[in-house]
Amino acid sequence: MSASVTPRVALVTGTSSGIGEAVVRHFCRLGHQVLAVDFNPAGREVAEEAGASFFQADLTDGDACRAAVAEAIKRFGRVDVLVNNAGVQHVSPIEEFPEAKWRQIIDLMLTAPFLLSQAVWPSMRENGWGRIVNIASVHAQVASPGKSAYISAKHGMIGLTKTAALEGGNQGITANAICPAYVKTPLVDNQIADQAKLHGMQEQEVIEQIMLKNAAVKRLIEPAEVAELVAYLASDSAGAVTGASWNIDLGWTAQ
Ligand SMILES: NC(=O)c1ccc[n+]([C@@H]2O[C@H](COP(=O)([O-])OP(=O)(O)OC[C@H]3O[C@@H](n4cnc5c(N)ncnc54)[C@H](O)[C@@H]3O)[C@@H](O)[C@H]2O)c1
């Protein structure tokens, strides 16, 4: 553990793969106590291998969100850091977008971060220290066709982040959002395969011609690169940083 890192209690959502898994591994290496929360039971093995605890919860359910926070407080006595990361994608035009999918995405990616922030707030306020890190997306800044629910949830997450920053400012609680472009995770692997089928392209062509079309840096992002930024925003060093959206987007939104 680095001498400059204060061990904290962190609750991280969406941890069975991708960015959430990378955050759990990085936090454990830094010496934090982590409750990894996911609806996929495979998350238990990932968490235990990293040195974290695991709690299985479907975060589209408000009671499950509150139960996850109660579990963290029961195990560790407090929550210092909340990383709202769990997410799913569904691509179809507005005209055909299934209402159930819309509701699932808004529940998971906007309502759950709100309910989890609400549930961890008393612990952070009592300790006069808290960090909320919301994994948004480049799609919190710009839109693409076919992703209405995802884009609406991610844009909403920026509003939630800014409001939490204002309310937490005099309580030692910061809130920031991270806005990545395409990160090498199962969520993106599925999209590559789907788009390749849809457009009759090779997977490499999908990456180069669709996913990296707007990128200045022509490569996918590694989950560990996002985890490093999460760790900074969750650190003591970032106490003056709040209400901000941190692009890690290969230069996508620079144009
Ligand atoms: N991969 C990218 O390119 C990219 C880019 C920008 C933002 N993001 C965001 O990063 C976050 C993580 O995505 P990822 O790419 O690592 O994907 P991923 O599919 O690897 O991880 C998503 C995690 O969320 C969990 N999850 C899904 N539904 C859940 C539910 N109802 N309750 C609890 N957990 C649930 C999954 O089991 C999984 O562990 C998402 O919010 C995503 O929108 C990803």
Q: Using CA positions, which residue lies closest to atom 38 of ligand 1?
A: 14
216 and 92 in one domain? no
**pLDDT recorded at residue 191:** 87
Q: First CA to last CA across the chain, in angstroms?
A: 39
Mutation probe of ligand 1 site: the residue of 187, 210, 245 with most atoms within 8 A of C-beta:
187
105 located within any domain: yes
Is position 254 within any domain?
A: no
Which ligand 1 atom sits closest to the C-alpha of 154? Answer: 43
Please state the atom number of ligand 1 nearest to the C-alpha of residue 150.
43
pTM of the model: 0.97
Strands (E) in 14-80, as ranges, are: 33-38, 53-56
208 and 117 housed in the same domain: no
pLDDT in tens, 136-177: 999 999 999 999 999 999 999 999 999 999 999 999 999 999
Looking at the fold, whether 58 and 32 belong to one and the same domain comes out as yes
- How high is the pLDDT of residue 119? 99
Q: How many folded domains does the chain comprise?
A: 2
Q: Establish if 66 belongs to a structural domain.
A: yes
Which pLDDT does position 2 carry in this prediction?
Answer: 47
Mean pLDDT value of segment 207-224? 95
Residue 98 shares a structural domain with residue 210: no
Residues 129 and 202 in one domain: no
Cβ within 8 Å of residue 4, ≥6 positions away: 236, 237
pLDDT tens, residue by residue, 25-79:
999 999 999 999 999 999 999 999 999 999 999 999 999 999 999 999 999 999 9
Residue 57 to residue 73: CA distance in whole angstroms: 16
Distance in Å, CA 3 to ligand 1 centroid: 31
Residue 255, domain member (yes or no): no
